Amino acid sequence: MSLVSVERAERLLAKDIPGFDFDGVREAAEAAWDRALGICIEGGDPVDRTIFYTALYRSLLMPRDRTRDRPDGATATAYWDDHYAG
Query: Per-residue pLDDT for 85 more than 70?
Result: no
Q: What pLDDT is attached to residue 8? A: 87
- Vertex 55: Cα angle to 71 and 22 (nearest 5): 60
Is 86 among the domain residues? Answer: no
Range of the domain at 64: 6-81
1 within some domain: no
**Structure confidence at residue 26 (pLDDT):** 94
> How does pLDDT run across 23-33, given as a tens digit for each residue?
999 999 999 98
Q: Give 71's Cβ-side CA count (13 Å radius).
A: 3
* Residue 10 placed within a domain: yes
Q: Is residue 56 part of a domain?
A: yes
pLDDT in tens, 32-78: 988 888 888 888 899 998 998 888 888 888 787 888 877 777 777 88
Specify the number of domains making up the chain. 1
Residue 60: what pLDDT?
A: 83
Which pTM does this prediction carry?
0.55
